[in-house]
Amino acid sequence: MIACLKGGSIGIEERHHRHSITSRAAKPDLHVRRKKENAYGIVWKAVDRRTGEVVAVKKIFDAFRNQTDAQRTFREIMFLQEFGDHNNIVKLHNVIKAENDKDIYLVFEFMDTDELRRFDLIFTETDLHNVIKRGSILKDVHKRYIMYQMFKATKYLHSGNVIHRDQKPSNILLDSECVVKVCDFGLARSLTQIGVDAETGDPNLTEYVATRWYRAPEILLGSHRYTKGVDMWSLGCILGEMLGGKPLFPGSSTLNQIEKIMSVIPSPTREDIDSIKSAYGSSVLEKASSKSKKSIEDLLPDAPKDGVDLLRRLIQFNPDKRITADEALRHPFVSRFHNAAEEISLNYDVVPPLSDDVQLTVEEYRNKLYEGNWKTECYLPVAFGRTTYNDPRDARGRQQRQRTYDQLPHGSQSAAAMQDPYPPMPKSRQASAPAANRGSRPGSQYRNNPTITREETKGGLAVTSSRLLGIGRLLKCALDPLPPIPTSYQAYRDAYNDTYHEGYQDVYHDAFTSDEPVPGQRPVSATSAQKQKPIYGRKQFNNAINNPSHGAPKAYFGSYTQNVGTISSSALASIQAASTARVYPAVLGSSVTLECSVRQEDKLVWDRGDGSRVIAVNGAFYPGVNTSSYLLQNTSVGQSLIIHSLSLIDDGTYRCYDLKNATNKQLMNVTILVEPPYVWSTGPNGIIEEGTKQVFICTADGGKPPPNMEWILIDRKANRKSFIGLNTDHRYTNGTYRRTNRLEIITSRDMYRASMICKVSISYFYEVQQTIVLDVNLYPLAPKFTDFTGLFDDGRVHNIECYSTGSRPAGSIYWQIDGNPVSSTADSTTKGADGLFYQSSTLSMRLTKNIQGQMLKCLVTNQVLQNQQKPDLFVQVMLLANFAPSIIADNGSRSVIEDNDVIMTCDVDARPLTVAGQFIWVHNGNPITSNSVYNITNDVLSVSKMTSTLHISPVSKASFGQYYCQASNHLGTQKSKVLTLDVQYRPVCAFQTKERHAGVLGKRLTLNCPVSSNPQNVTMTWRYVTRSSPPIRQNLAGLRMVNGFRYTTIDIDIRSASQFTDIECVATNSLGSSKAPCMYRIVKPGPPEIPHDCKSTATSDTEYVISCTPGFDGGYHQYFILQHLDDGQFHPSANNSDPNFTVQGLSQDKNFTYRVCSATDAFPQVTSCSNAIVISTGESMLSFFFSLSLQNMSLLVCYDFAHYYLI
């Protein structure tokens, strides 16, 4: 597979610029277009002109700049060569030498992204990093399938005792069918090459490996012990990034990376720390572990539980505790894809041909790659199909083994042959065990048991070995029908039975293009240009094309070499030629070169495959052959037959064979491609209707092979939809075909003003389109109401609008209520710019409560519906009336004794129901609010019914009176009938405070005792409180009614000072005595008390009202004086019988001070004055409160932002 192909295959050279490919590289076999560039290289999309296969050509800049780069390049190519037969590892097709000897070209399989383009996901790279970055592209099933494939690939690598060491999203390629390919093996290492003692392992393993965000803790902590767990940790980071949409541990430095990891995973035990064997791991972890912890569930709140569980098993600190790739394949997160047959493993170690601890010179690495003979000498003896590394020190041992073999008896050789040299071998869990510990393998028998290998005999098949079973395996592989290498025409032959022929691709495209580079981007598989996708449904990575024969590439570029013998490339080709025919596609009038590599023993014969005509024998044309159409040419591997001016009679099978041994032959199939000269299509004629079946027919006549036919519907918004019809083929005698494709389809709305295109094509050969313009009549769309939900106000006229769109021809709207027709009042029809009609209808009528619950239906029809006898389209709604409240409540009168409970109910029927503030209970004309006595509860029974309850507990004298409930909505207000509550209670004094009365010795004092009572059969008792005296029985007046109160009067003669005390009046009825008697205090006469609670209120900018509450008058009639402050002295301003005054004519922006005083004629020398009242006029409206102590005139100031007032 490694070759430098000059002139005959793929040639690439550098002349003037590092980004250029010269014409010699492009002319013969490659059609190239540059796709992507970064610091390490550049990637082109290319087409192999021999096979039509699309490939990716990666140019690595300065691949041999120094020994380290050369070693990495060599190692990557070796591992790609070894693991390329796995479906989830990128396949290396070829290695091409650059003429400057500094760069190198790698030819990979191409990752197709056509399907992604259909969703406008146009990537410059089809890698997992870019897919995650775009967000929300990957669904849950995609993430599971990607992880499953990565575990498969990793299991395959680990089974060969190799670790990748650089697994990250940008190294995981994706195609349009979510197939994964792992790439970039530049950091991969074979664990077999590491010493048994991990402490003395390869020091190169401690160097920078893997992008920091995906490094395992042991790498970050500088451990020398590497295990397969480093790859499993990276896979865990990739899983976390897919689940969360962003990197799991995006550390900014090594220390920060450790801190981020330790903030999520559990703190490691001493055993875990010791397992990584890091000199400074404990100190670093102690610092990092002090950070606050966060669980995986907190980090990924939307992740599935099985995904979190798998992630937790992958990011274990101890590498020995991490889940293995094989175990991960059986985890529930990916178990739906689990298939043991596909999860293949190697039963041997894969070891590079050169040890990593031995660095060759740059020139030696370059020669190893380009010599082409490295396969015969580079690998350790590991297994079938893998070349072995022959240490020069073992040359003597090989000679000894050869001599021993020659001396063995025949029976011993047969016995040795019966042993299986490649028994199944148990895999270690994660340990980096050396090859010597991995069980019995052929390599271990070099020194223990004599194994014999002869030299290859040039020119033929020579297999000599004591292991006949190994030979059987070898022959079985060799006899399988394999495609010729390096071409892929066998894949064309396999696909030829279908309508799409991959082998046709780009055979006739000679143009060479090279775009400008896109700097700063990583060269992953290039995205392909838009092209016809194969219709036969094979996956992008078809085994016959991308994985040809699992060994044929090695047979072509060198020999298989193992301890059981050798097969040369020429011998393998001769075996293969007997059973397969190479396909040569060509067009009429062109030329084709048939290559024959049959080993000639006698005479080489060319003829048609059916034996109908001999063309040439032993280098000379057979008599009767038109020599102007043929040309024979000797080549380095045999002979070529060139056929000029191809016609249809040249189509078919050719063969070359040795006349002496006819079984030694080679078959070639020339396939003539012919573009059909006649292509036409037919479809419906005239106007068609939505919902009807239509037939489209497309015919291609005279082509070869039958073309791919696809119908494409392009609607009026330029959206595209594909259809596949039924093919019928007729083959003419000249080998051409007439293909007819019939498509039956039901006309849909998106066909209005659309075009149906018949696309006839063979990819990379021709494409013809036939267009049919459609003229479609449409159903109307279902009607809709405009802002009408079915609710209406009872008794009002409503205008209800209904409309329908999208009809062609115009439709009509009509109305029904419970199936009965209703006449509309206004209808209109409008034609839109798109040619479709808009219909509207308005129903105007008075709706009343008696139609509540009936169905109002708006229906639309047009001629299309009627022609197809389809039901009319409609929208309907139930009519529900809004109505004013109606109330049923307790009413009449009810008698209750105080301290008991009363419950009243009120039932309301209304739509809409009353809300807060629209339903109230009223007592004696005043709304009731819930408090400690009144408790109101509202129970909503339905959308229109409610019950309200008023609970009075306990009932008292204040509960007496009339009650009703009231409900309101936007249609009206309703009151319930009145319920009168008659409360029976013990007598209650008309006043609640103790009254003071002035008495004079020697004179009589009259006291009145007013009480309310129900019932009114009241008796009253007077007594002195402080002297515990008996009731006073003198000078009592009888009971009388005054303003609803029961009155009794007593006259008291003041004879001594002891009578200046408290007196009480106790009232009693049939329910008992009053809870609080009427209280009186007899005092000596004196000056009036100071007015209190004084305040000022502004009635305008210049007028204020000053008011106070009068104090006790001292026993005499008092009057009041308003005084104002002027020059530090108060002066009278006005007199009044009550303490209320109006001050007018106040100036702006000034302060005025007043006070109110009380006086009596009995004490003219005493004036009782209030605190100062300060009024401030002006725009600021700031007020101050001055409290002037009457004793010392001290001034207290308070602030208020409204106006000055006095408390």
Considering the domain architecture, whether residues 1014 and 1052 belong to the same structural domain is answered as: yes
What's the chain's average pLDDT? 77
Q: Read off the pLDDT of residues 1160-1197 as tens digits, 9 standing for 90 and up.
A: 998 988 999 999 999 988 644 434 333 333 333 333 33
Q: How confident is the model at residue 750 (pLDDT cuts 50, 70, 90)?
A: very high
Helices (H), 321-419: 325-328, 362-371, 395-407, 410-417
In eight-state DSSP terms, residue 455 is P
Amino acid at 287: K
Q: Is 166 a catalytic residue?
A: yes
Question: pLDDT exceeding 90 applies to what percent of the chain?
Answer: 49
Q: Are residues 962 and 919 in the same domain?
A: yes
Residue 263 maps to a domain: no
pLDDT at 18 (0 to 100): 43
Same domain (yes/no): 592, 646: yes
**Would you say residue 300 lies in a domain?**
no
In angstroms, the CA 385 to CA 421 distance is 13
Residue 87 lies in a domain: no
When pLDDT is cut at 50, 70 and 90, the band that residue 56 belongs to is confident
646/736 same-domain check: no
Q: What is the pLDDT of residue 1027?
A: 60
Looking at residue 277, its pLDDT comes to 81
> DSSP label at 479?
H
830 and 898 share a domain? no
Q: Which of 1022, 1056, 1083 is the last residue of a domain?
A: 1083
Looking at per-residue pLDDT, the higher value among 755 and 426 belongs to 755
Tell me the pLDDT tens digit for each residue of 667-719: 999 999 999 999 999 999 999 999 999 999 999 999 999 999 999 999 999 99
Give pLDDT, residue 112: 61
Residue 895's CB: how many other CB atoms inside 10 A? 10
Task: Judge whether 703 and 736 are in contact, CB under 8 Å.
Answer: yes
For residue 774, which of 801, 749, 800, 792 has the smallest C-alpha distance?
749
Cα(947)–Cα(266) distance, integer angstroms: 61
Query: Are 856 and 912 in the same domain?
Result: no
On whether residue 715 sits in a domain, the answer given is yes
Indicate the pairing of strand 880-889 with strand 791-793: parallel
Instruction: Identify whether residues 771 and 791 lie together within a single domain.
Output: no
Residue 57 CA to residue 838 CA, distance in Å, equals: 58
Look at residue 444 and tell me if it is in a domain. no
CA distance 1197 to 687: 96
- Residue 1178 pLDDT: 66
Assess whether 1103 and 1186 both reside in one domain: yes
Distance between CA atoms of residues 5 and 22, nearest Å: 15
Do residues 914 and 852 both lie within one domain?
Answer: no
754 in a structural domain: yes
At residue 280, the pLDDT reads: 65
Q: Considering the domain boundaries, does residue 405 fall inside one?
A: no
Report how many domains make up the chain: 6
The catalytic residue among 166, 184, 272, 890 is 166
Q: Are residues 888 and 915 in the same domain?
A: yes
Q: In what order do the strands lie in the sheet with 880-889?
A: 791-793, 880-889, 902-911, 945-952, 934-940
Q: How confident is the model at residue 845 (pLDDT cuts 50, 70, 90)?
A: very high
- Provide the residue range defining the domain that includes 1122: 1092-1200
CATH number reported for the structural domain that contains residue 699 in this entry:
2.60.40.10
Share of the chain above pLDDT 70, in %: 73
Flag whether pLDDT at 562 surpasses 50: no
3-class state of residue 991 by DSSP: coil
Confidence of residue 870 (pLDDT cuts 50, 70, 90): very high
- pLDDT at position 1035 is 65
Binned at pLDDT 50, 70 and 90, residue 777 comes out as very high
Same-domain status, 902 and 803 = no
In a domain, 649, yes or no: yes
Boundary (domain end) residue, out of 761, 777, 793: 777
For the whole prediction, is pTM greater than 0.85?
no
User: Residue 509 pLDDT > 60, yes or no?
Assistant: no
813 plus 724 within the same structural domain:
no
Cα 1012 from Cα 1016, distance rounded (Å): 8
Domain boundary among 752, 777, 802: 777
